[in-house]
Structure 1
């Protein structure tokens, strides 16, 4: 099946600087695809090239199988929602949504019908005559999407559209955006530096760094099986230790950390050798807590430590544990029920985790 969007060897240079460096990807029809990366990595440059606001230095962009390199922005089957929604304050909601249809010369009756239809689909029927400043932030967000979707684009581009919203509204809009995408069955391409937005909403995520894609996969693949050190460190919270590999047996390896701890990790198919400097990444929720070492039998890595901080965040609460042998604090997920739910600063705990949970990469990679 022909993807709705395909970029082939897409490159954009500004002088000698490569903002986008030979990026290729395809987005299946009707899917939610996110480009996730830090500021300045090139994700907005990709979106501007897809929209037609910027020409690639080389490469090709195809919408539903056809190259659009010579097609001006207003003729591409693409529309865009910006972080600052750019709704017209002097127009009511129906006029805002119908603006693009009027530019196409559609009749007033047909515009009214289409506006009513799209307002119904975004869950805001009957607000046609209201002004923009009478709407909440979430309602404005949906109206901005409706203004794009009424034009029936093949691809909707979303440039960090939740960035200007407060935290609680942003959390709600993540769920609503995913529901809207499914309701319209339109391909969404979403760019963000916020990993939570990408992980919650996306069918596929491309993690971008310094103009190139590090990895493309599902949220689960990026989180549990990162392919590069950058992805391991950028996506989700993680503990990181660096040192030198002392032993390798199959995918299992032993790494002597810089403060002298011997730690078991896994190469997961990466080409690592004895003597290499390497880094191990372990997720906080992969670490088990206990009151005694005997409860951690079978774990490759075990140690005793003291709780130095409680990072309370509801279901995502963590504690920082300082190992008795010294070294950096270790971030550990705090159980939400049972005897450890009331853990406090100063408590002594035993912690342990499986070596298979430790993703190991060459030190310095990423």
Structure 2
């Protein structure tokens, strides 16, 4: 099956600075693909090259199997939704959605039909006569997407479109955007620095760092089986320790951390040997907490300590635990049973986790 979008060896230099270096990926038809990374990693530069606003220094961009390097931005079968939606306040909703259709010279009856269908698809039928400033933030977001989708692009590019929304609306729009993508059955390419947005909405995600892709895969792949230390630290919350490998035991190692803790973790095929410096990453939800040490005796890693802080967040509440002899604070999810609801700062507790829950990488590896 021909991908809707395929980039091969994509590179962009600005003078002596390389913003994007040898990036290749393919996006299947009708899928939701996200590029996730910190500010300045090059993800917007990729988006602008796909849209035609920047020319790549090297590489090719193909849409539906055809190179578009020689196609100007206004002729490419793509459209773009920006963080600042740029709706026209002097126009009503129907005129905003139909703007591109009018520019294309369609008859009024056809514009009215397509506009009405778009309003139905975004769940806002019958509001065509309303003004932009009468809409909520989420409704404006949907109108901006409808304005793009009536032009029937092969690929819709979304440049951090939820960044200007408040937290609660942003959470709701994650679900709505995924539903809209399915309703229009169009390929979405989405860039964001917010891991939650990427994990919730995407079929596949590329994690980007310093101009290159660190890893591509499903959200589950990235979260549970990161390929690099950067991905392990960037995607999801995690505890991280650095230390020296004391023992190598098949696909696992024993690590002495800089604070003196002895931890066991999994290498998942990565080459780590006794004497190497390494990092180990453990998710807060992988760690169990108990009042009695005996309850955790079956775990490879077992630490006794005390609570240094309570992090209340409803069902996602956590505690910070400091080992009795070490200075490291360890973030631990609290079980939803309520057994630890009355836990106080300074309380003695025990924590433990399985060795295969710790992802180990050579120190400094990315």
Structure 1 and Structure 2 fold alike (TM over 0.5): yes
Q: How does 1:166-181 map to 2 (within 5 A)?
A: 166-181=166-181
Residues 48 and 159 (structure 1), Cα distance of their counterparts in 2 relative to 1, 3 Å cut: same
Is the counterpart of residue 149 in structure 1 residue 129 in structure 2? Answer: no
Partner residue of 1:31? 31
1:338 deviates by 3.6
Checking the alignment, whether the CA contact within 8 Å between 2:277 and 2:362 is kept in structure 1 is: yes
1:344 deviates by 2.5
Separation of aligned partners in 2, 1:107 and 1:216: 44
Is the counterpart of residue 44 in structure 1 residue 44 in structure 2? Answer: yes
Separation of aligned partners in 1, 2:141 and 2:360: 41
Partner residue of 1:69? 69
Is the counterpart of residue 211 in structure 1 residue 231 in structure 2? Answer: no
Separation of aligned partners in 2, 1:31 and 1:325: 50
Checking the alignment, whether the CA contact within 8 Å between 1:35 and 1:190 is kept in structure 2 is: yes
Q: How does 1:217-228 map to 2 (within 5 A)?
A: 217-228=217-228
Partner residue of 1:85? 85
1:205 deviates by 0.4
- Structure 2 gaps of 5+ residues are none
User: How many equivalent residue pairs?
Assistant: 366
Separation of aligned partners in 1, 2:269 and 2:7: 29
Q: How does 1:195-344 map to 2 (within 5 A)?
A: 195-344=195-344
Which stretch shifts more, 21-30 or 346-355? 346-355
1:65 deviates by 0.6
Which stretch shifts more, 168-177 or 254-263? 254-263
Superposed structure 1 runs of 4+ greater than 6 Å apart: none
Is the counterpart of residue 117 in structure 1 residue 106 in structure 2? Answer: no
Checking the alignment, whether the CA contact within 8 Å between 2:260 and 2:326 is kept in structure 1 is: no
- Structure 1 gaps of 5+ residues are none
Separation of aligned partners in 2, 1:342 and 1:197: 33
Separation of aligned partners in 1, 2:289 and 2:280: 20
1:348 deviates by 1.3
Partner residue of 1:158? 158
Normalization by structure 2: what TM-score?
0.99
* Aligned Cα root-mean-square deviation (Å): 0.7
For residue 111 of structure 1, give the secondary structure of its aligned residue in structure 2: helix
Checking the alignment, whether the CA contact within 8 Å between 2:261 and 2:326 is kept in structure 1 is: no
Separation of aligned partners in 2, 1:62 and 1:213: 19
Is the counterpart of residue 5 in structure 1 residue 5 in structure 2? Answer: yes
Partner residue of 2:358? 358
For residue 156 of structure 1, give the secondary structure of its aligned residue in structure 2: strand
Separation of aligned partners in 2, 1:307 and 1:148: 52
Checking the alignment, whether the CA contact within 8 Å between 1:335 and 1:341 is kept in structure 2 is: no
Separation of aligned partners in 1, 2:181 and 2:341: 38
Per-residue deviation, residues 119-161 of structure 1 (Å, max 9, x unmatched): 0000000111111111000000000000000011110000000
